[in-house]
Amino acid sequence: MSLHRELDYQPLDDEHDPDDWRPNSELAFVVDDRTNMLVVAERLAPGDAIPLHRHRIDEIVVFLAGRAEVRVGDETHAARAGDIVLIPAGEAHGVHNRGSEVVEFRAAFPTTRLDVEYLERNPAPGTEGDPPRPPFAIDLRTGEVEPV
């Protein structure tokens, strides 16, 4: 067993991810050397949105605080603390915080190699006219990024 309590939250202002620029939101990755699992801990700022995207693996999202609008495929639902959203591999999804409080959640994946294909963007400054970059995968253990 591994217990992860003190998370290292970082703003989403990474120049290496020009498709998901959200400097008022924060996220932390939980990766354990003993498992092949990943948990993304996120604090989604009021007004911010996770752009529509998809993964080639299943995802579980557990909402801890706030209220969010969650889109999975063609359906949109209101989510609040205590709700759990199961997202099948390949299904487009995104989250929007339309409220005045931070939305906090955890997203769990059965791997430490996370692939992402952006279908929409939160463009970084200076990239507003660019299309989403091609799908990529990042190994959260090593930081290595490669095309998918």
Beta bridge partners of 76: 71
Nearest of 117, 123, 120, 121 to residue 135 by alpha carbon: 117
Burial (CB count within 10 angstroms: exposed 0-12, middle 13-18, buried 19+), residue 49: buried
Tell me the whole-structure pTM to 2 decimals: 0.94
Print pLDDT tens along the chain (148 aa).
789 999 999 999 988 889 999 999 999 999 988 999 999 999 999 999 999 999 999 999 999 999 999 999 999 999 999 999 999 999 999 999 999 999 999 999 999 999 999 999 999 999 999 999 999 999 999 999 999 9
CA distance 104 to 108: 14
Cβ-based neighbours of 5, under 8 Å, separated by 6 or more: none
Long-range contacts of 123-131 (CB under 8 A, 24+ apart): 123/18, 123/19, 123/21, 124/13, 124/15, 124/17, 124/18, 124/19, 124/21, 125/21, 127/18, 130/18
Q: Per CATH, which fold does 10-147 belong to?
A: Jelly Rolls (2.60.120)
Domain ranges for the chain, please list them: 10-147
